Amino acid sequence: MITTVYANHYLLPPEEIKGENLRWVHVTHAGVDRIARPEILKRGIRVSGSAGYSVEALAEHALFFMLSLAYKSAELWDSQRRSAWEKEGREHLRSLCGHTVGIVGLGHIGQALATRCAAMGMRVVGYRRSVGPAPAGVDHMYTADDENGLEKLLGESDYVVLALPLTNASRGLMNARTLAMMKRSAKLINIARGEVVDETALINALKKDEIAGAGLDVFCQEPLPSDSPLWTLPNVLITPHTSAREPDRDERAVALICDNIGRYRAGLVLHNEVSDDDLFTP
């Protein structure tokens, strides 16, 4: 007998995944970092996630950050609350059109964001670990096989969007060294996982104006502690790890699971199946 489990990885830690006949765990979230552990795969258990079921909302969320930072929306809201007609300094703002966005991670979300940014007149450069043709909307592609590929992307981007999974390889990807490679006028957007960014290094870079701003939806510790300096930095926009929902999100999630059941029975590779490259060890 083969048992499959439809599991919410926020409720079911790896040490509680038991059963001699357990062969497959499906996670009901896009990220699988909390269950993508070596001890799980060594037991021969296959793990799959739900990446792709909420693509549009997350791509829009990245655009929300980019537009809000570009137009300094926080200042507009503050002026509106004070009934103040303040135009000084806003003549220096620039639209997204004509700027370069660097998307680190070109999975479902990264690809959806690329097409939207291209439609808005942005130049799109991307970075991913696998070699292959550039997805639609991407003007130039870097991969892990390119010498200094990530560094080149960081150096030419006005907006850097992190949309990659959290793995042992991506933990701390944005640190003091890589943040220093960004333009001083650039903004960092993180819709991936908090641990992809060294928060201490990011706070220092923002305080010293080494980068111009950040839009953050995810953090190393959630909820973000009330004493975190990120709350009060004027060039930071924070959302509490949440985004809007598509009207058919649940239907998509169920359809993905049903399709994976068919693939499992047929002995095929599952959609969003975890491999050794996806492992994450806390």
271 and 209, same structural domain? no
Report pLDDT digits (tens) over 59-110: 999 999 999 999 999 999 999 999 999 999 899 999 999 999 999 999 999 9
Strand order in the sheet with 46-48: 3-7, 22-27, 46-48
Q: Can you tell me whether residue 176 is helix, strand or coil?
A: helix
CA distance 110 to 155: 19
Local confidence band at 4 (pLDDT 50, 70, 90 cut-offs): very low
> Mean per-residue pLDDT for 27-44?
82
Q: Which residues span the domain enclosing 269?
A: 3-52+245-278
The residue whose two tokens read 């700027």 is 99
Report pLDDT digits (tens) over 248-268: 878 888 899 999 999 999 999
147 and 126, same structural domain? yes
* pLDDT of res. 146: 86
Q: Shortest CA distance to 163 belongs to which of 210, 100, 124, 108?
A: 108
Q: Shortest CA distance to 9 belongs to which of 30, 22, 53?
A: 30
40 and 60, same structural domain? no
CATH code for the domain of 252: 3.40.50.720
The residues, ordered by sequence, that sit 6+ positions from 54 with a Cβ below 8 Å of its Cβ are: 30, 243, 245, 246, 249, 252
69 and 31, same structural domain? no
156 and 104, same structural domain? yes
> Mean per-residue pLDDT for 160-167?
96
Q: Which residues are catalytic?
A: 193, 222, 241
176 and 64, same structural domain? yes
Mean pLDDT of the chain: 91
